[in-house]
Amino acid sequence: MKNKMSEMMNLINTIAKSVNIQGFTQPSEAESHMPSPMSVNNLKFTPENNACNLLDWNGSGEIVAEGRWSSSDPLCEVHHLRLGPNAMRVWVDVAKKPTAYLWRPTSHMSTIEEAVGCTVAWPSNKVTMRYLWCTTNE
């Protein structure tokens, strides 16, 4: 049982690192031996309402905005232009770095601050999904 629990924690840590979860910590030795208040079968790792972070496309890795994923379909249009490969359409909800430039500016908006409340195209490799653990009734 201890080996299985250790394997599960390693898997969780690997997943947490691969999806860039901030604030995830492994339980202490004492906590890892405590019985869980809910069954493992009732836990699910899910995106939070398609919530995502938009990273600076110039390469700094800084979060420039929080938003919601809308589509990855290359034929989908954003401001009358096809999304194309390796891009996502996202809603911009919160500007974290208001002066950051958009990946594909338009005649009406060129910064993240101007895009709040709108959809924009963003490079797929510069979007990280925000995940959470939730319980299910299954």
**Residue, of 23 and 95, whose pLDDT is higher:** 95
pLDDT tens sequence across 92-125: 999 999 999 999 999 999 999 999 999 999 999 9
**How many Å apart are CA 101 and CA 64, to the nearest integer?**
9
Check whether 31 has a pLDDT greater than 50: no
Which residue, 80, 95, 89, is CA-closest to 120? 89
Give the whole-number percent of the chain exceeding pLDDT 90. 53
Please say whether the beta carbons of 67 and 87 come within 8 A.
no
DSSP symbol at 101: B
Token look-up 């208040």 returns 37
Q: 68 - beta bridge partners?
A: 51, 91
Structure tokens at 3: 């080996």
pLDDT tens sequence across 67-87: 999 999 999 999 999 999 999
Sheet strands (E) in 33-73 = 43-55, 63-71
SS3 21: coil
**How many Å apart are CA 9 and CA 35, to the nearest integer?**
14
Which residue, 25, 21, 44, is CA-closest to 128? 21
